[in-house]
């Protein structure tokens, strides 16, 4: 078997996490994938994978994978160098993006991008759940927050600023907390994907500290969290792409601005084996231009953010 084909097969198996999923992606059978991997291991004289209920990768396999990714990326870059950029904007592009940020902002941006490239077939998954790039075969995902998977390549776009917020009605009845230690006496509205146990990680004098707050409501929907906050049910940590307009309209107020939690960054992420293809590069450059830095959603409260040094 051609060595480049061997490399692509091995990289696909590692990215897929199983031979059956790799076979599906390659359009062949699990037995064919298994046989070709065994041939590769016999040729190299070392085991590359650990077979079992959950597939693993050996140390030689990790080394071989890293080299394969680099070599295949260079081959693709060589091909891209002789292709017209517009001509490469065809075929399929699978994108995952968070629902909460897509309703008002990312959704329309992705629609405009699709309209610019009629030969590009886009599949867009909008969900606030954490997308596993290795298991679900997306080309690129837009992620809000801190990145934990070091095997993925991240392309930062802008800051993902978060603020503690409450409605004027709630604060009139319960008081404005002057210190994060007072949070334990307040009702908390919690984002289940980030803070299911009712513990907030806040910056105090440059140090990250944990503070408990009563669990009044917990949801995995950013929009539900926003509506509960506007309804006066308690305090919530909200991203500015949800909170900025209600703050500008007087429906929400910023609480403990000096202790605003870190929201990480807005990033485009993709697998190393996909490298920044022309389609990915074009999409991310488009989103970066559309979003801006500082991001477009912060324009209504730019003065407030500048005043508190955020």
Q: Which pLDDT score, from 0 to 100, does residue 205 have? A: 81
CA distance 130 to 98: 9
**Averaged pLDDT of the chain:** 87
Q: Which residues contact 295 (CB under 8 A, 6 or more apart)?
A: 158, 159, 240, 241, 266
Q: How far apart are CA 64 and CA 9, in angstroms?
A: 12
Token couple for 111: 């629609």
Size of the chain, expressed as the number of residues it contains: 310
- Cα 10 to Cα 17: distance, rounded to the nearest angstrom: 11
Q: Is 205 left (phi over 0), alpha (psi -120 to 50) or beta?
A: left
Sequence-separated (6 or more) residues with CB below 8 Å from residue 171: 253, 255
Q: Is the dihedral of CA 60, 65, 68, 70 positive or negative?
A: negative
Least confident of 3-12, 149-158, 288-297: 149-158
In the chain, the percentage of residues whose pLDDT exceeds 70 is 92
Between CA 305 and CA 73 the distance in angstroms is 41
Contact 110/97 with Cβ under 8 angstroms? yes
Least confident of 222-226, 259-263, 298-302: 259-263
Q: How confident is the model at residue 87 (pLDDT cuts 50, 70, 90)?
A: low
**pLDDT at residue 167 in the model:** 98
Q: What is the pLDDT of residue 149?
A: 58
pLDDT of 11 above 60: yes
Q: Is 281 exposed, middle or buried (0-12, 13-18, 19+ CB in 10 A)?
A: middle
Q: Can you give the pLDDT at residue 203?
A: 84
- pLDDT tens digit sequence for 153-194: 888 999 999 999 999 999 999 999 999 999 999 999 999 877
Q: What angle do CA 287, 293, 299 make, to 5 degrees?
A: 105
32-70 CB burial, b ≥16 within 10 A, e <16: ebbebbeebbeeeeeebbeeeeebebeeebeebbeebbe
pLDDT at 52: 75
Give the pLDDT confidence score for residue 97 in this predicted structure: 94
Q: pLDDT value at position 235?
A: 97
Q: 224 or 85: whose pLDDT is higher?
A: 224
pLDDT score of 135: 64
**Which tokens belong to 294?**
């500082």
| 138 CB burial (10 A radius; 0-12, 13-18, 19+) | buried
- Quick one: average pLDDT of 12-37? 89
Q: What local confidence, expressed as pLDDT, does residue 89 receive?
A: 82
Q: What is the pLDDT of residues 189-239, one digit of tens each?
A: 999 877 767 789 898 887 888 999 999 999 989 999 999 999 999 999 999
Q: Which of 208, 262, 263 is nearest to 98 (CA)?
A: 263
| Most distant pair of Cα atoms in the chain: their distance | 74
**Overall average pLDDT of the 121-137 stretch:** 79
Query: Cβ contacts of residue 9 below 8 Å, gap of 6+?
Result: 1, 22, 26, 33, 36, 37, 40
Q: Check whether 278 has a pLDDT greater than 90.
A: no
Give pLDDT tens digits for 33-77: 999 999 999 989 999 998 877 788 888 888 898 888 888 877 776
Residue range 95-123: average pLDDT?
93
d(CA 203, CA 199): 13
pLDDT for the residue 134: 66
């Amino acid at each position: 078997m051609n060595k480049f084909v061997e490399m692509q097969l091995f990289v696909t198996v590692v990215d897929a996490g199983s031979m059956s999923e790799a076979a599906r992606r390659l359009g062949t059978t699990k037995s064919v994938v298994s046989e070709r991997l065994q041939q590769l291991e016999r040729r190299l004289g070392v085991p590359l994978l650990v077979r079992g209920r959950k597939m693993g990768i050996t140390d030689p396999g990790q080394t071989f994978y890293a080299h394969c990714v680099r070599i295949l990326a260079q081959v693709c870059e060589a091909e891209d160098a002789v292709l017209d950029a517009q001509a490469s904007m065809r075929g399929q592009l699978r994108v995952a993006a968070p629902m909460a940020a897509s309703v008002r902002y990312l959704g329309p941006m992705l629609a405009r991008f699709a309209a610019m490239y009629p030969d590009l077939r886009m599949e867009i998954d909008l969900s606030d759940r954490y997308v596993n790039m290795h298991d679900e075969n997306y080309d690129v995902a837009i992620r809000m927050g801190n990145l934990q998977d070091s095997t993925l390549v991240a392309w930062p776009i802008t800051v993902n600023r978060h603020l503690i917020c409450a409605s004027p009605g709630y604060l009139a009845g319960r008081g404005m907390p002057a210190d994060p230690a007072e949070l334990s006496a307040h009702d908390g509205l919690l984002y289940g994907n980030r803070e299911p146990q009712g513990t907030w990680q806040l910056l105090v004098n440059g140090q990250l500290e944990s503070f408990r707050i009563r669990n009044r409501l917990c949801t995995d929907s950013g929009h539900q969290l926003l509506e509960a906050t506007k309804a006066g049910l308690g305090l919530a940590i909200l991203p500015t792409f949800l909170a900025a307009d209600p703050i500008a309209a007087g429906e929400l107020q910023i609480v403990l601005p000096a202790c605003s939690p870190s929201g990480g960054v807005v990033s485009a992420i993709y697998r190393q084996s996909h490298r920044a293809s022309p389609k990915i590069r074009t999409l991310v450059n488009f989103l970066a231009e559309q979003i801006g830095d500082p991001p477009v959603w912060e324009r209504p409260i730019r003065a407030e953010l500048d005043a508190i040094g955020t």
